[in-house]
Amino acid sequence: MTIQNTGRLDGKNALVTGATRGIGRGIAEAFASEGATVGVNYLPDEAEAGRAEEIVSSIESNGGSATAVPGDVSDPDSVSSMIEMYHDDAGAIDILVNNAGILTQCSFADMDVETWDETIDTDLRGVFLVTRTAIDDLLDSEGVVINIASQLGVKGGTELVHYSAAKAGVIGFTRALARELSPSIRVNAIAPGPIETDMIDDLTDEWKTEKTDELPMGRLGRVKDITPTAVFLASDDASYYTGQVLSPDGGDAMH
């Protein structure tokens, strides 16, 4: 990846949660290419730390600016430490992307409480915790929040009740917070369709085939299908957008 700074996010500090792979990594790299100083958040463990440092090194070697910041979005103390570390390394946050999430496939009849709680804690509670902890920064900078939801939060998904519920919650959170914080902070969401990342690796081949067959565009999405929407929402080009859910999903959930 070669960083070509077009300046749309020059001078901005952006924190992207869950930024070591998939959509999060793509957004972090895209923001760096637009001039932002990017916080690459990762779940604190040795393997994830290595991935985060590799991404930071790649961004910096190509002319961008980034820093690795550990933090478990489902844990309040860990989130506070993450925000403090980003402050020390880069400064206050202008753009927050709540991307961190998990996805498991399980029938509702077989779902235990632990599976439900783990998904809600990361995919919905994490959005609340990180946004709440960063709110003073965002109010001071009249900043931007971008929440990564899912088309399944709109239409639901078989054997994905827990994930669909969490992402529907993210959409409701986005719209309510946008009303509460406007015009100081713009809050929007992206609801991607199924994207070719390791997040869907554990889903069955049957599920992937059926999903591809039902998509009007006839293919699963790619990370590069999502990142332009994130850059747009983070930039001044989207200055009149708030409370919106943009859906690069191949036509899966038309609404």
Active-site amino acid positions: 163
Tell me how far apart the alpha carbons of residues 255 and 238 are, in angstroms, rounded to a whole number. 20
Tokens found for residue 19: 């930024």
98 forms beta bridges with 147
DSSP 43-108: -SSHHHHHHHHHHHHHHHHTT-EEEEEE--TT-HHHHHHHHHHHHHHT-S-SEEEE---------G
Which of 142, 118, 112, 148 is CA-nearest to residue 130? Answer: 148
Q: 34: closest CA among 246, 233, 243?
A: 233
Q: Which residues contact 176 (CB under 8 A, 6 or more apart)?
A: none
Strand order in the sheet with 245-246: 65-70, 37-42, 13-16, 95-98, 144-148, 186-190, 245-246
